[in-house]
Amino acid sequence: PPYSVVDQIYHLASPASPPNYMYNPIKTLKTNTIGTLNMLGLAKRVGARLLLASTSEVYGDPEVHPQNEDYWGHVNPIGPRACYDEGKRVAETMCYAYMKQEGVEVRVARIFNTFGPRMHMNDGRVVSNFILQALQGEPLTVYGPGTQTRAFQYVSDLVNGLVALMNSNVSSPVNLGNPEEHTILEFAQLIKKLVGDGSEIQFLSEAQDDPQKRKPDIRKAKLLLGWEPVIPLEEGLNKAIHYFRKELEYQANNQYIPKPKPARMKKGRTRHN
């Protein structure tokens, strides 16, 4: 057609936090497989370009550091995280199958850890866990020794990267993340400091298949998209903490008390027995 109903599809659907996707592995798999096939079918029909929100999890627990886009990954196909890791890996496979066979334009963003306001407070991810625990005066729970590393980007940086990728002519996968790497323990200490409260740090046993290192190589995004994160970690964390604090106050002040529903009259004729 000369013009189409839709030009661009951002396919961002999928549970993303480990407790969330492990709780319902089948739904996670279906979203990433059937859901992705549905979106690619739509893109093919209307001639739209599809951007897949893939993940750094395609690299699994990496044996290469930092991770660049040519690294194939190190994933346990039957581990507790497999529904997400392998779901996203096959979603990438599907994109390139549709590109090769049907000429669908695809963009693949391998997204590394992201945070910011309007996150789900109870999503079970490390930043939200720590902020919530610190604000509520609970101990900050660290799984394992806390030496495992993560790299966090602020949400606005990621959004700019996704838009830049979508509007570029780069069809191969591109890492979008912040190469500034910190240990989980450093995050706990920093959040503790920013919240300004006396929570202690509590060490729990390690989570299975928890990646030990995670750091994006973003040279490709810099070179081809002119993109790199610009929001400093502390600034982003302060914004997230501010949002969580407001959210907790709101919840405390507006406890939802269900009102009894008035009995509804049936529409239509009154029945005579």
Helix then strand then coil, % of the chain, to nearest 5: 40, 15, 40
Annotation marks residue 23 as catalytic: no
Say if residues 150 and 198 touch (Cβ distance below 8 Å).
no
Which tokens is 16 given?
């993303």
Amino acid 260: pLDDT: 64
First to last CA, the chain: 60
Q: How many CA atoms within 13 Å lie on the side-chain side of 129?
A: 17
Determine the residue type at 157.
D
Helix (H) or strand (E) holding 178: none
pLDDT in tens, the chain (273 residues): 556 689 999 999 988 777 777 778 899 999 999 999 999 999 999 999 999 999 999 998 888 889 999 999 899 999 888 999 999 999 999 999 999 999 999 999 999 999 999 988 888 788 999 999 999 999 999 988 888 888 899 999 999 999 999 999 999 999 999 999 899 999 999 999 999 877 788 898 887 767 777 789 999 999 999 999 999 999 999 999 999 999 999 888 877 666 666 666 655 555 555
Which pair of structure tokens corresponds to residue 46?
Answer: 């209307």
The overall longest dimension of the chain from CA atoms, in Å, is 80
- Residue 237's closest CA among 167, 175, 154? 154
Class of residue 82 by CB neighbours under 10 A (exposed 0-12, middle 13-18, buried 19+): buried
- Going by C-alpha positions, the residue among 56, 42, 31, 32 that lies closest to residue 4 is 42
Q: 10, 23, 71, 84: which is the annotated catalytic residue?
A: 84
